[in-house]
Amino acid sequence: MSMRVLSVRGVLPEHRYRQEEITGSFTDTLARGTLDRAVVERFHRNVCVETRHVVLPLEEYARLGDFGRSNDAFIRAGVELGGRAVVDALKDAGLTPADVDYIVSCTVTGLAVPPIEARVAERIGLRPDVVRLPLVGLGCVAGAAGVARLHDLLRGRPDAVAVLMSVELCSLTLQREDTSVANLVASGLFGDGAAAVVAVGPDHPLARSEDCASPQGRVRPEVLASRSRLYPDSERAMGWDVGPGGFRVVLDSSIPDLVRRYVGGDVRGFLAGHGLTDADLGWYVVHPGGPRVLEALQETLGIGRDALAVTWDSLRRIGNLSSASVLHVLADTLAHRPPRPGSHGLMLAMGPGFCSELVLLRAPGEEG
């Protein structure tokens, strides 16, 4: 039994800035002149990001003050962006909020109890009996893991509609007093955004449609299988340290080496379990973790830069949106670089743990 992805929509905040503007704001205002601007510029230039979207005008970040005010801003903006992504994705699929049976939410950039999807539910009109599953703490891997969890849920309810909502407002986690290399890299790499995926089980009428393209002409792929991997002795590779100022980033330089050590073998083993090899993959949907991570992936997977062209372009245009990024890459792939009919694709993301999630996809139709 396979799940059908009906639509994927990414949304971005209205405030968009060039990297140079963000660098200037970070060094002059947020870091209060304590950092050498030339050093920050070098870190920001090396992450290959040209523009990013953030939820607040740059001049407002210095006025946030403490973690509580930043988290309040996260809830306000997160509910608006997440709700918009879900409504847009449902509209693309020809469904309404009342049709949704399951909603999975993911975030790692703020705390909300009740969680974001519960606040979105009332705002957009989800049913009172909608089943909710918040995923907190998975970080960048959660976009791919969330798609995999939709697949798990729909195996038990093959006639149901399930939605994944990702909301990541990374700019609100930036630490003003942290001059570590990890924080300097993060201040140049991460942006804000949200995304939503609408999927149905194999017994839903929209999964059985002979025409598996959306009304907008977008491909509606199947999710065939997934695999989760948690790597040994890597807990401090990526994550947060939580302190009085909120989330302090943990981002170790060992990540590309971990990718080279584990991910290629995991991908080949995953594919072999489904009678495939890497030569059978026609397209990739990869999280834009950063230039060094993408280069390590290309090396270990034995692929060229063009195979990850959509990912590299997403990194350049909007930066790393944590869990929402791989969903933006999926949306861009289906809309602008549609895979060949019947071809297999691989969704791949990595996150705190250190861990990875692999999702096997197939475009509808027969490969010719």
Q: Which amino acid is at 225?
A: A
Nearby residues of 23 by Cβ (< 8 Å), 6 or more positions away: 37, 40, 41, 44, 188
Place of tokens 């705190």: 352
- Degrees to nearest 5, angle at CA 301 with 298 and 302: 75
Q: Which helix (H) or strand (E) holds 5?
A: strand 3-11
Task: List the beta strands (DSSP E) in 244-298.
Answer: 246-251, 281-286
Cβ–Cβ < 8 Å for 277, 333:
no
270 Cα distance to chain centroid? 21
CA atoms of 241 and 251, how far apart (whole Å): 11
Give the three-class secondary structure for 263: helix
Query: What are the beta bridge partners of residue 356?
Result: 229, 350
Question: Nearest Cα to 345, choosing from 330, 328, 360?
Answer: 360
Q: Catalytic positions, please?
A: 140
Question: Nearest Cα to 42, choosing from 187, 257, 177?
Answer: 187
